[in-house]
Structure 1
Amino acid sequence: MSPPEFQRLIAGVTQQLAGRPLDGSLAAWLNDTYPADGNAFRELADACRSGVAAGWLCNREGGGLRYGRIFKALPETHGFSVDVVDMKDMAGPHHVHPHGEIDLIMPLTEGATFDGHPAGWCVYGPGSAHRPTVANGEALVLYLLPQGAIEFTPA
């Protein structure tokens, strides 16, 4: 897996997300279309693990958090930026999602959760905010941000 191959893989997902409202119905659609026990989910998770191992994903570190933006919002990713973080039993920095956020949760430890969600997808609507938290072990989380918009704020 290389960054261009990863971009093509992600673009297959973002193509179906472009222009859709970021809400609970999108989360349900993602979990039905790309379930955590399905081949597409496994392919995405394997690609993320491969990218981390190769050093082109999560290539920055701070405060116990490994992270990195692999793609800015591009036409090829249908206007979504792509970030991946590696977190273990911690809360990350508080931030606001001006246009929303789509998260793919890939536990590295069985039973690990992201903001209380198990393996799968969660969607935050425009204007939402949180302190992203991984509990019960370690997980990779892929973030799709419309227009790459994120605003870090005091907790």
Structure 2
Amino acid sequence: MRCVPSIDVPELRAKCPFPATTDQVLGWLYDNLVDQGVMAYVEWKEFNAFLDDTILPLAPLRDAKVGAIDMGPLYERLADEGDGDVALELDHPPYVEHVNRILAASRLQLLEIGAYENAHLLCVCKDQSAIDRLCRALSALGIPVFEHAAA
């Protein structure tokens, strides 16, 4: 898993629950990758309030010394495109795209793992061939991956 910085693959394999359902595999990945500091769970209705608590502590962001993530430009862009209170209406794709634009300077990217209301975000190195292999491996287990390319 070359695209996931600092992951301990032998430890991950030792805890592998196969055979398992898709939800069990995602739960296993989440439990182990959170412990290794490369995955976070975000409830979208609270993403803005907990951004620093959920995203910035990820090991690759910490190692790359990624600082505060300014959401202002995203709110401004979305306000120009629509009506209403963007801070309350913001859904996760534009949010992850915005964060990925900021992370690109550090050659990092967030992937959304699974298709749920809230997100399991995996921090990976920006290596498209390695990301493609990871996507194929997870897809074979029934787990979709959403890249949310930087906008």
> Which has the bigger relative contact order, CA under 8 A and spacing at least 6?
2
Larger proportion of helix: 2
Larger proportion of strand: 1
Q: Which of the two has higher C-alpha Rg?
A: 2
Query: How does the TM-score come out when normalised to structure 2?
Result: 0.29
Query: How does the TM-score come out when normalised to structure 1?
Result: 0.28
